[in-house]
């Protein structure tokens, strides 16, 4: 009977948790918190990396669109100036000035006259005509919508003699007429054209402008040799 009176209830030895069980229970919240933190960190790294890549990849296109809109809507003379219609070019009669607002000239060279225009080649090629520059430095660069300069016409690449250059879009396979100096194939149907003509000094401005203003573009369908 005495032994029966002091017998512990069945299962009494399992009522108190062991030290190891308590440690495991406390470790679970900490482990879960670390998982959440790691997941958040990895997500932020992925988002930051993707955002940075997207910005770097599309930034040239955004910059090109801004320049193109400036040329078409405001030309080269600032926000209050008249734009340059597509498939035409315009040459500024004065040198660049840092005081011009919203202008491509605001950060331009101080010793060159600027010529600019936007070409749309979707309806056919354009022919760029340049006069005989008689050794004078000039350059006309062609830029695609991703900011890549894919061709130059000028003293360093084609010389300074008069020439007519056929600018065609991708996939164009028409006949090149006689009298064309060279064909330039653009990687895109939209092309930004920027030309520079050297002015040797104040007394040379009029002569330089007379040459630069002869830089022009004409649709191939309307172009005639020696026009």
Per-residue pLDDT tens digits for 165-188: 999 999 899 999 999 999 999 999
**pLDDT computed for residue 72 by the predictor:** 72
Question: Do residues 162 and 132 make contact, with C-beta atoms less than 8 angstroms apart?
Answer: yes
Domain of 217, CATH number, reads 2.60.40.1610
94 part of a folded domain: yes
Half-sphere exposure of 73 (CA within 13 A, CB side): 10
- Residue 128 CA to residue 221 CA, distance in Å, equals 13
**pLDDT computed for residue 29 by the predictor:** 63
103 part of a folded domain: yes
**pLDDT computed for residue 82 by the predictor:** 77
50 part of a folded domain: no
Nearest to 95 by CA among 82, 119, 81, 76: 76
Q: Domain range holding 92?
A: 72-221
Place of tokens 């007429």: 177
Handedness of CA 217, 221, 222, 225 (dihedral sign): positive
**pLDDT computed for residue 226 by the predictor:** 60
Q: pTM for this structure?
A: 0.70
Q: Is 18 helix (H, G, I), strand (E, B) or coil?
A: coil
**pLDDT computed for residue 102 by the predictor:** 42
129 part of a folded domain: yes
Place of tokens 């520059």: 133
**pLDDT computed for residue 146 by the predictor:** 84
33 part of a folded domain: no
**pLDDT computed for residue 101 by the predictor:** 45
How many residues belong to the chain? Answer: 227
Q: Find the helix or strand (DSSP H, E) in which 33 lies.
A: helix 19-74
Q: How many domains does the chain fold into?
A: 1
Residues of the chain with pLDDT under 70: 1-30, 33-34, 36-37, 40, 44-65, 77-81, 97-108, 225-227
> What SS3 string covers 113-161?
EEEEEEEECCCCCEEEEECCCCCCCEEEEEECCCCCEEEEEECCCCCCC
98 part of a folded domain: yes
Question: Do residues 209 and 113 make contact, with C-beta atoms less than 8 angstroms apart?
Answer: yes
60 part of a folded domain: no
Distance, first Cα to last Cα, the chain: 131
17-27: burial string, b at 16+ Cβ within 10 Å, e else: eeeeeeeeeee
């Amino acid at each position: 009977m005495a032994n029966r009176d002091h017998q512990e209830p069945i299962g009494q030895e399992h009522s108190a948790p062991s030290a190891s069980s308590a440690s495991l229970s406390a470790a679970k919240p900490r482990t879960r918190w670390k998982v959440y933190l790691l997941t958040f960190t990895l997500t932020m790294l992925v988002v930051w990396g993707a955002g940075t890549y997207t910005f770097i990849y599309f930034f040239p296109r955004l910059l090109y669109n801004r320049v193109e809109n400036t040329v078409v809507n405001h030309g080269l003379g600032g926000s209050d100036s008249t734009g340059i219609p597509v498939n035409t070019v315009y040459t500024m009669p004065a040198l660049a000035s840092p005081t011009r607002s919203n202008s491509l000239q605001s950060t331009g060279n101080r010793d060159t006259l600027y010529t600019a225009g936007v070409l749309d080649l979707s309806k056919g090629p354009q022919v760029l005509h340049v006069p005989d520059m008689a050794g004078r430095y000039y350059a006309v660069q062609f830029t695609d919508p991703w900011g890549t300069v894919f061709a130059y016409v000028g003293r360093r690449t084609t010389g300074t003699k008069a020439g007519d250059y056929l600018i065609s879009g991708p996939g164009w396979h028409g006949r090149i007429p006689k009298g064309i100096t060279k064909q330039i194939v653009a990687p895109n149907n939209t092309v930004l054209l920027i030309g520079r003509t050297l002015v040797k000094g104040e007394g040379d401005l009029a002569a330089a402008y007379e040459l630069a203003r002869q830089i022009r573009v004409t649709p191939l369908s309307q172009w005639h040799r020696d026009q």
